[in-house]
Homo-oligomer: A and B are copies of this chain.
Amino acid sequence: MSSENTKKKEGIVPEPSLRRMPCYLAYLKLAKRRNQEYVSSTHIARDMGVDPTQVTKDLSYTSIVGKTRVGYEVNTLIDVLEDFLGFRKLDKAYLFGAGSLGNALLHDHGLDQYGLKIVAAFDIDPKVVGRTIEGVPILHVSEFEKMKDKNVEVGILTVPAEFAQDVAQQMAKGGIKGIWNFTPIRIRLGEDCVVQDTSLYAHLAVMFNRMSSIKK
């Protein structure tokens, strides 16, 4: 019965830990540049201004094991983290909504480095459909259903708020397994499709609030 209890939690990594991992990765890549062979959680923590035990706990979710009194091997840790985070294998993605924000994402080539390649974009606006942005063709949404490319599991949602839920449902129906949701709308879908919210404006709101706090 103990195993029954832990089954649900087994293997699930806390979101805060997952969000910190790319920071460790960035730190490690800089350490590699400086030709550091080993780096300890103590140093990572000091340099990044976080708690040392948090670093070891976060890293313990991966397969890495550190050496007592030495730390972690930089190269190995980079490999393990990139692999763990899914940045190594390239995922193809469709982008839905080639408006202002969608356009913006099409201009960001950084995504490629992290394992995401936008292969097509969809919109309904005749002014953009048929065009190509940064090498990515913009098709009419109706084309999506015809494609059924089983290799494309990620969908980026950048449509106006009022269409978000509808389009998301189409995406899920069309075989999309992960929706990267840039709208401020909370998407409601079944269990077989993951929704990751990334509302830029939510972050802006937090920043504005914290800024007004320090003024007092």
Residues of A within 8 A of B (CB): 11-13, 15, 18-23, 25-27, 29-30, 33, 48-50, 85-87, 91, 100-101, 103-111, 114-116, 153-154, 161-162, 177-178, 180, 183-186, 188, 191-192, 194, 196-216
Contacts and interface: CB of A to CB of B under 8 A. Distances in A.
Contacts of A216: 11
A22 B91 CA distance: 30
A177 B91 CA distance: 38
15 contacts: A11-B216, A18-B205, A23-B185, A30-B161, A50-B186, A86-B208, A86-B211, A86-B212, A87-B208, A178-B208, A191-B214, A194-B210, A194-B211, A196-B203, A198-B203
A97 to B, nearest CB: 11
B207 A194 contact: yes
B198 A18 contact: no
A109 B100 contact: yes
A209 to B, nearest CB: 5
Is chain A's interface secondary structure helix, strand, loop, or mixed overall? helix
Nearest to A184: B26
B105 A18 contact: no
A195 to B, nearest CB: 8
A182 to B, nearest CB: 9
Contact of A49 (B21, B107, B178, B186): B186
A206 B18 contact: yes
Contacts of A197: 203
A198 to B, nearest CB: 4
Contacts of A20: 202
Contact of A188 (B49, B192, B210): B49
A189 to B, nearest CB: 10
Contacts of A192: 214
A180 B207 contact: yes
A23 B199 contact: yes
A60 to B, nearest CB: 15
